[in-house]
Each structure stands twice: as structure tokens, then as C-alpha cells.
Amino acid sequence: MSMLHTRRTLLTVICEASIEARVLADARRLGAHGSTASDARGWGQHGERDGGWPMSGNVRIDILCEAAVADTIAGHLQEHYFRSYAMICYLSEVSVLRSEKF
Amino acid sequence: MSMLHTRRTLLTVICEASIEARVLADARRLGAHGSTASDARGWGQHGERDGGWPMSGNVRIDILCEAAVADTIAGHLQEHYFRSYAMICYLSEVSVLRSEKF
Amino acid sequence: MSMLHTRRTLLTVICEASIEARVLADARRLGAHGSTASDARGWGQHGERDGGWPMSGNVRIDILCEAAVADTIAGHLQEHYFRSYAMICYLSEVSVLRSEKF
């Protein structure tokens, strides 16, 4: 067998669970083909709305996609959510098998 | 004290919870010395068996190991699971403390 | 709008849930400005106290910070926890939006 390794970007978004569905809908509209989410809790200066810590009811969303799509989604989130919601975004480079899916 | 930093590969597998035990047993047999799993939910075109979205009852498995072991496990998963199960695999490079464990 | 991308270090700590609060307090004291935690389960040779597998009741803690802070926290954890607790630490490089938070 041959393995298909391709570089992709993993965009990780940590935000309030209340906006998970909105963020996922935006990501899908902007080119994401899939995502993985899990419950999380955090503390920190996450967004202007939340001044202190601790914070619970968070979600961690991982979106595996091409670099350009990750940039588009991250830019959209920064523009539409960062001012009003607790949200962290970071990107990392990974090697993906089955890359034809993303 | 001295810190021991060593490059290792982090193999992340996202799959249906129903096959978690099988995947972990395979990984252990193929050279993994440990793993971390957490519940997850996802949507996407994950595997031929699942045509659409959304998808729940998933698990995220992280296996920290040497690059060669990660390649062996990833190749095995690709060969034996990708056709029949919803599964995503990706690899990233990390620096590990206490590397003698992996 | 302009996106602010900055390199940061993601320090991931996997440990027993019983010491989560202690680890977070240490990280905060040593310079972390936030963290995200989620429940996890694992198996492996994690720490001298735990000889075998499987292991449950774990937590995964992700701390996004400057490289120097990550090194300080990782060194502290290695010195004070590795001998007595099941703990894994690894570091990866990520690009962060809204870097002024970390």
C-alpha cells in the first residue's frame, strides 16, 4: 500500500459552547469539509466580555483544511467574534493521511 | 535540573468510539507505549460508510511515539480501517519531556 | 482588517485529574495567562507511581504562551511532579491570532 501524506493546517478554535453551532456553520460555508469538537473548560483573559477567570462551558473545535481555508476562517472569526466573545484561535501544520477528504 | 527535550511524533486518530479498543490494541502491538483518548463529536465526510453529517460518538486518540512507529501505525490504520470506518489520522512534530517513556 | 499572527508555544500537559488545580496554579504563577482543560483517559507507563495500564481520570491541559514561559513551566513540572505523578508534557509551535492575550 502507499500512504498519502499531505500538509494541511489544523485550525483550533476555543470558544463558548453557546456559539459552537454558529462557528461550525461559518466554517462550513467558508470551505471546511469537517471538524471535531470536544467539551473543554478554561481560564484566562478570553475576550472583552469576560474579564476574569475561571470560565467553563467551553468547546474546542479542530478544523483540518488547506492553509488558505484556515486563514479565511480565522480572519472571519477574528472580525466577527473576537470583540464580543471569548475566543482563541491558533493554527498548526500537520501531515494528513487521506488528504483527499479535506 | 536538566530538561530532556526530544522530537517525537504525535499521531492523532479521530474515529468512531466503537472501534477505540481495537485501534488502541493495534497501536500497542505496533509499538506505541501509551495513548490519551477523549470523547469528541464531529461532522464531515469521514469514511465511505458515513456519507453525510453530523456525526457523534467519536473519540480522539493521541499517540506520542517515534516517527517510525507513527508511520507504521498510520499505515496500518489506513490499510485496515479507512475503507470501512469513519477515521481521520494526522501527524505533527512535538518536543517531549521525559522522552525515555515513549 | 489585518490579522495578527504570532508564533507561540502550546504546552500540553496530560496528568491525573487530582492534580489539575495544582498544575494550573503553578502555571499561572509562572507566567501563563490562560489554559484549556478537558477530560481524558489513557494507558501507558505514565510515572513511576503507576506501573501499568490502563489509566483513567486524566486531564489534558493546553497552555498557550511564549516559548520561555513554556520552558519555565515544563521545567517546573518535570522537577516537582515527574517523580511522583503520572504526567506527560510536550510542546509544539503554533501561530496564534489575538496574540496580545498570551
pLDDT of residue A101: 57
For residue A90, the distance in angstroms to the closest alpha carbon of chain B comes to: 15
What is the average pLDDT value for chain A, to the nearest integer? 85
Could you report the predicted ipTM of this complex, rounded to two decimals? Answer: 0.84
Return d(Cα A9, Cα A40) in angstroms, integer.
21
* DSSP string for C14-79: EEEGGGHHHHHHHHHHTT--EEEEEEEEEEE--STT--SS-EEEEEEEEEEE-HHHHHHHHHHHHH
pLDDT of residue B60: 96
pLDDT, tens only, C42-59: 877 644 334 444 456 899
**Which of C3, C33, C95 is facing A90, going by the closest CB pair?**
C95
pLDDT of residue C102: 57
Q: To probe the interface with C, which of B3, B11, B64, B95 has the most C CB atoms within 10 Å?
A: B95
Three-state SS at C84:
coil
Question: With bands split at pLDDT 50, 70 and 90, how would you rate the model's confidence at C5?
Answer: confident
List b or e across B71-94, with b for residues whose CB sees 16 or more CB atoms inside 10 angstroms: bbbbbbbbeebbeebbbbbbbbbb
Return d(Cα C6, Cα C32) in angstroms, integer.
16
CA A44 from chain center: how many Å?
18
Average pLDDT estimate for A57-79: 95
- Cα dist. B55→A37, A48, B60, C37, C92 in Å? 11, 33, 13, 23, 29
pLDDT, tens only, A26-62: 999 999 999 999 999 987 764 433 444 445 689 999 9
Return d(Cα A21, Cα A67) in angstroms, integer.
22
What are the cell numbers at C86? 503520572
What pTM value is reported for the model? 0.87
Q: Name the strand (E) or helix (H) holding A70.
A: helix A67-80
Instruction: Judge contact between C101 and A88, C-beta under 8 A.
Output: yes
Q: To probe the interface with A, which of C38, C65, C92 has the most A CB atoms within 10 Å?
A: C38
Return d(Cα C32, Cα A19) in angstroms, integer.
25
Question: With bands split at pLDDT 50, 70 and 90, how would you rate the model's confidence at B5?
Answer: confident
What residues of chain A lie within 8 A of the CB of B43, using their CB? 24, 28, 34-35
Return d(Cα B20, Cα B13) in angstroms, integer.
10
**Which of A24, A92, A97 is facing B92, going by the closest CB pair?**
A92
Conformation bin of residue B18: beta by default, left when phi > 0, alpha when psi is -120 to 50:
alpha
What are the cell numbers at A13? 478554535
The dotted CATH code for A6-95 is 3.30.70.120
Interchain CB distance below 8 Å, C74 and B92: no
Question: With bands split at pLDDT 50, 70 and 90, how would you rate the model's confidence at B42?
Answer: confident
pLDDT of residue C1: 44
- How deeply is C97 buried, as exposed, middle or buried, from its count of CB atoms within 10 A (0-12, 13-18, 19+)? buried
Instruction: Judge contact between A86 and A17, C-beta under 8 A.
Output: no
CA count, 13 A, side-chain hemisphere, A9: 21
Average pLDDT estimate for C31-36: 94
What are the cell numbers at A89? 484561535
